[in-house]
Amino acid sequence: MKTNIVTPLLALTAALTGQCLALTPVLEEFTNGQFDETHFYQYNVGNAKLVQGNDKLNLTVLPDFTKDDFVSVELLTSYPGYSESWQMTVDLTNTSNAGKNAGCGFMIFNYADRSDFLYVDFYGISGVKAGILVNGKDAAVGKLSTKVGAPKGGIRVRFDAVTKLMSFSVSLTDKSEGYKWVKIGTFSPTGKGGNVRANWKIKPAGQFGIQLFGFGHKQKVKSGKVSLDNLAVTPIQ
């Protein structure tokens, strides 16, 4: 996924200059029937799109697919801080049965340097995989993934302002069914500690950005097969 992600992250740097940076609580259920461009900025490569429908954010790769179709939407209303504790949860569905050739997920990046980021791919029954990059290149030590999968579920990220660790958990049930979180590991953006680590050199006043994405590799994806829902960003007291 990293070849798809680096370009849109860097391209958004200029487009989003001047956005207000702060953690603002977010609960986005995608129920208003129309993509809200005041809350999200969309960027796509190839023929992938994220479109609201049936109270979800749905990936479509139609009618023609390419080698790498990719689309991301950046959350514009909340940029969690490096010096505050917070968590993010999101529901994901992937019934494409395309293995690692189609899926969805999210990115968390260093706002001061968008080439520092992590991504989490949700492959449905084929599991979950994460990648960590520094200056656009793989640089993490350790592994953060699970081969245990399901057609739908949830992922949670918790950042601790004291330890500077991001904790990742997955649930094989979604919000409507009640989450059952299982921790799969931790990431340290300081380069020290954690199951996975890489030094993003974030300053105390630094902040993170959040993007949701969908992708297909030589793969047609019909609306409703791959989707995201119930994005929540909240402070941890």
Assign 58 a pLDDT band (cuts: 50, 70, 90). very high
What value does the mean pLDDT take over residues 51-65? Answer: 92
Measured CA to CA, the distance from residue 127 to residue 125 in angstroms comes to 5
Going from the N-terminus, what domains does the chain have, and what CATH number goes with each? 2-235 (2.60.120.200)
What value does the mean pLDDT take over residues 46-69? Answer: 93
pTM summary value = 0.91
The pLDDT value recorded for residue 115 is 95
Measured CA to CA, the distance from residue 202 to residue 25 in angstroms comes to 22
Give the position of tokens 């640089």: 139
Please state, rounded to an integer, the average pLDDT across all residues of the chain. Answer: 90
The pLDDT value recorded for residue 19 is 55
Q: What is the pLDDT of residues 192-209, one digit of tens each?
A: 999 999 999 999 999 999
Q: Report which secondary-structure segment, H or E, holds 210.
A: strand 208-216
In the predicted model, is pLDDT for residue 213 greater than 70? Answer: yes
Bridge-based pairing state of the strands 196-197 and 182-188: parallel
Higher pLDDT, 146 or 91: 91
CB atoms within 10 A of CB 217: 19
The pLDDT value recorded for residue 171 is 95
Q: Are 209 and 112 in contact (CB under 8 A)?
A: no
- Range scoring the smallest mean pLDDT among 33-47, 150-164, 173-187, 201-215: 33-47
Q: What is the pLDDT of residues 71-116, one digit of tens each?
A: 999 999 999 999 999 999 999 999 999 999 999 999 999 999 999 9
Q: The dihedral of CA 136, 141, 144, 145: what is its sign?
A: positive
Assign 7 a pLDDT band (cuts: 50, 70, 90). low
Which pairs with CB-CB distance under 8 Å and at least 24 residues apart come from 132-140? 132/187, 132/196, 132/198, 133/2, 133/6, 133/198, 134/198, 134/199, 134/200, 136/2, 136/6, 136/10, 138/2, 139/198, 140/187, 140/196, 140/197, 140/198
